[in-house]
Amino acid sequence: MTEGSLVSARLLVFRVGTLVCAADVDQVREILPRLPTTRIPGAPPVVAGLVNVRGTLVTVVEGWRALGLPPLSPTPSPEAGTTGSTIILELGKAEDAASGSQQAHGGGAARKLIGFTVDEVMDMLAVGETTLEDRQGLPGIDPTLVRAVGRRDGELFIVLDVAALLGPILPS
């Protein structure tokens, strides 16, 4: 997707560690409290495990690991409970909608559900033309994962390219 297609987009803004990020709302299926996962033997460390979301098994990715960030705090003990949220994303949905696919009629490529852990869901906002800037090199984040940079209440956030971030983690 190009930055021009983000002009009228709605974004979900969230925090992963100290990094404020956003994803296109059209890719978000739902937001759940952080769910305990079942570890998958042999899975890469970025994969937290599987969760059952109303009968569908969903692979959950640790957001901070996927973005190459250090953990915000040491791994909490099981007694401390889990904090944050799991965002259930549909890979392929926004791309299909942008290309005019026949997904509404049951056609098009199969979409994948994936969970993405975040520390805090902050806001949902509509993007105006002046809100977003072209993507730029940001320290600590791979520029290929950034679609654009925005500003919310004077604070910068990055609009993630969800397909580029999560696609390589989950091969077909």
User: What is the per-residue pLDDT across 14-50, written as a single tens digit (0 to 9) for each?
Assistant: 999 888 999 999 999 999 999 899 999 999 999 999 9
Contact 24, 14 (CB under 8 A): no
- Residue 153's Cβ-side half-sphere holds a number of Cα atoms within 13 Å equal to 6
Q: Judge if pTM exceeds 0.85.
A: no
Q: Which of 55, 114, 116 is nearest to 84 (CA)?
A: 116
* φ and ψ of 144, to 5 deg: -70, -15
Q: How many helices (H) and strands (E) does the chain have?
A: 3, 11
